[in-house]
Structure 1
Amino acid sequence: MSRPAAKKIVVCGGNGFLGSRICKHAVARGWDVTSISRSGEPRWDSVTSSPNPPSWSHQVSWERGDILRPSTYAPLLRGADAVVHSLGILMEADYKGLVSGRESPLAGLQKVFAATRDRGINPLERKHGEDIKPDSSNDQFSYEVMNRDSAIALAKHADEEKVKAFCYISAAGGAPILPQRYIKTKREAENTISSSFPRMRGVFPRPPLMYDSSRPITMAIAAMAGGGSVFNQLTGRYFDTFFGAAAAKPLKADTVAEAVVEALDDENVKGPIETPKLEDLASKGWRKSML
């Protein structure tokens, strides 16, 4: 009796902190995994605690492609059962400028929180394979382009290839330290993908702060956020609106990755997935791996 063909999953941003772990858990299920990113294979010491490629990585096809140039990735979506958008930015400040001293921390923060116009473009009005880069290079790494428009363009091309499920890594509610446009563009992406591509099963995980021992700074931040989560629980979630994502229990990056893969494997899962459901899905996936 022949075995069913392995599922094919394409992870855009598969060489990142979360994306690489999604690839890992998909490989563990025997899936055919392709990662697309500008640099190809990860620099492993930036996403794990070792500079050496883990054993599972050799089962991933590490492809190069630019999320703002669909012609570079569209052919790789052919035959995929699921496509994942695991990209985005937390801050619009010029990190390199801040680190090098070209821009002061104060100027960087002013830029992040300044009121601004919508800096994106409409991918739905673009032709197949047409670039979605805005006219101004200053707008290229905006919330609108990176968090919203790149995802909509990817979903558009996935739909054209008859992909069954599309996963957009969204986020738990905003936090006091992040501009409102961060979470606004995330929700706009979810809504547009759902309404514009109803044939595809849209899966929208909304992870809280994620941590892993390979990134010590995430452990410290998670510890502080965990305290905020406990405090919010003790006060009857009175501060939900103020704390936003900081009020949600932090999760290990591997927990979120396992939940994403399980969600894509379960045809009954669709729409937004908040923290409790992410934990449930990860537990369900872990139990499957133990059988």
Structure 2
Amino acid sequence: MTSFLCLPAISTPPPSLTRASFRGRSITHFQNRLCRIGVKCSYAEAGVVDDLKSAPIDVVADVKSERVVVLGGSGFVGSAICKAAVTKGIEVVSLSRSGRPTYPGSWVDQVTWIPGDVFYANWDEVLVGATAVVSTLGGFGSDEQMQRINGEANVVAVGAAKDFGIPKFILISVHDYNLPSFLLSSGYFTGKRKAESEVLSKYPNSGVVLRPGFIYGKRKVDGFEIPLDLIGKPLERILSATESFTKPLSSLPASDLLLAPPVSVDDVALAVINGITDDDFFGIFTIEQIKEAAAKVKA
């Protein structure tokens, strides 16, 4: 523990503590953030000059790594994100209805698995100490079911994260494939876009929306492994190699159903890691931008 003698109170903060350097956030926000990441400090309220002159400030350097909450962490994309985060030294908590996955893996033991439903979650338990939330929530079914899981569930999660003061929210959404508007009116797409709007409105300067197309990799379903990479990987290479020839066709309705390149689940996961660690990474990201973000983390 190191003690520093406080200087007399000043009417404005020094240059390093100006409002611009805090990106518009209050000093109280950062005091709360420091508490969550393990930096202990004692300070006097502004204006108590006598105390500031005489009272030492105790600082204990106990800075921890990022802590991310992955919603749907036991699923195909969610598990890849959990694994990538653990590999990068990030503390991981997963909230999903199935809880801990049944398949083995050294990284599995390093994740805190919480079984539960987003609509009934104990957010005080799930979000404590978190620096980012990643949502992989989504699914197919009736229009009503898709609106609920793709849209409403994510809206609930974004609201909880914002209320709890979590500084960043990352949503795994979907590419629109250049589909005509009447096809984009299905519950799947309208739910996803509703979730996107919620992220971008609540987190205008730190929200991340990833829009991948077909995601390939080794997907585990009921104890069986489906090698989606056997299709996705060669298709990605073919479409990338022929992009200069097929690009003029991209303006045709629904053309991206055939022309949008697949993206590996590992690249999606690494793009998420980039979003967690890079404060300048926010907004909507296309398939190509997802791959570029993943490449930054690989480098």
Given the two structures, how large is their TM-score scaled by the length of structure 2? 0.69
Segments of structure 1 that go 5 or more residues without pairing to the other structure are 45-52, 94-115, 120-141
C-alpha distance in structure 1 between counterparts of 2:248 and 2:154, whole Å = 32
Aligned partner of 2:228 among 214, 218, 232: 218
Amino acid at match of 1:9: V
Aligned to 1:163: 166
Instruction: Indicate the SS of the match to 1:87.
Output: coil
Highest RCO, 1 vs 2 (Cα 8 Å, sep ≥ 6): 1
Deviations 1:131-166 (A, max 9, x none): xxxxxxxxxxx2211101100100000001100000
Instruction: Indicate the SS of the match to 1:43.
Output: coil
Aligned to 2:212: 207
Aligned to 1:185: 191
Higher gyration radius (CA): 2
Are the equivalent residues in 2 in contact too, given 1:165–1:264 (CA < 8 A)?
yes
Are the equivalent residues in 2 in contact too, given 1:167–1:202 (CA < 8 A)?
yes
Higher strand residue share: 2
Instruction: Indicate the SS of the match to 1:277.
Output: helix
Segments of structure 2 that go 5 or more residues without pairing to the other structure are 1-59, 220-224
Aligned to 2:119: 68
Within 5 Å, give how 1:1-291 maps onto structure 2. 2=61, 4-44=63-103, 53-70=104-121, 72-89=122-139, 91-92=140-141, 119=144, 142-174=145-177, 179-180=183-184, 181=186, 182-195=188-201, 197-198=202-203, 201-213=206-218, 215-216=225-226, 218-222=228-232, 226=236, 233-240=244-251, 241-244=253-256, 246-287=258-299
Are the equivalent residues in 2 in contact too, given 1:83–1:167 (CA < 8 A)?
yes
Distance change (3 Å), C-alpha of 1:229 and 1:74 = farther
**Percent identical across equivalent pairs?**
29
Are the equivalent residues in 2 in contact too, given 1:34–1:61 (CA < 8 A)?
yes
Deviations 1:208-264 (A, max 9, x none): 111114554523552685456766652324245313354221111111101111112
C-alpha distance in structure 2 between counterparts of 1:66 and 1:21, whole Å = 20
Tell me how far 1:30 sits from its aligned partner: 1.2
**Matched pairs, number:** 229
With 258-267 and 209-218 compared, the bigger mean Cα shift is at 209-218
C-alpha distance in structure 1 between counterparts of 2:123 and 2:166, whole Å = 14
Deviations 1:31-71 (A, max 9, x none): 11101111111132xxxxxxxx111111100111102324x
Tell me how far 1:183 sits from its aligned partner: 2.3
C-alpha distance in structure 1 between counterparts of 2:176 and 2:234, whole Å = 17
Distance change (3 Å), C-alpha of 1:152 and 1:259 = same
Distance change (3 Å), C-alpha of 1:211 and 1:11 = same
Are the equivalent residues in 1 in contact too, given 2:214–2:263 (CA < 8 A)?
yes
Are the equivalent residues in 2 in contact too, given 1:193–1:202 (CA < 8 A)?
yes
Distance change (3 Å), C-alpha of 1:224 and 1:55 = closer
C-alpha distance in structure 1 between counterparts of 2:177 and 2:146, whole Å = 13
Instruction: Indicate the SS of the match to 2:255.
Output: helix
C-alpha distance in structure 2 between counterparts of 1:224 and 1:242, whole Å = 22
Tell me how far 1:199 sits from its aligned partner: 6.5
Given the two structures, how large is their TM-score scaled by the length of structure 1? 0.70
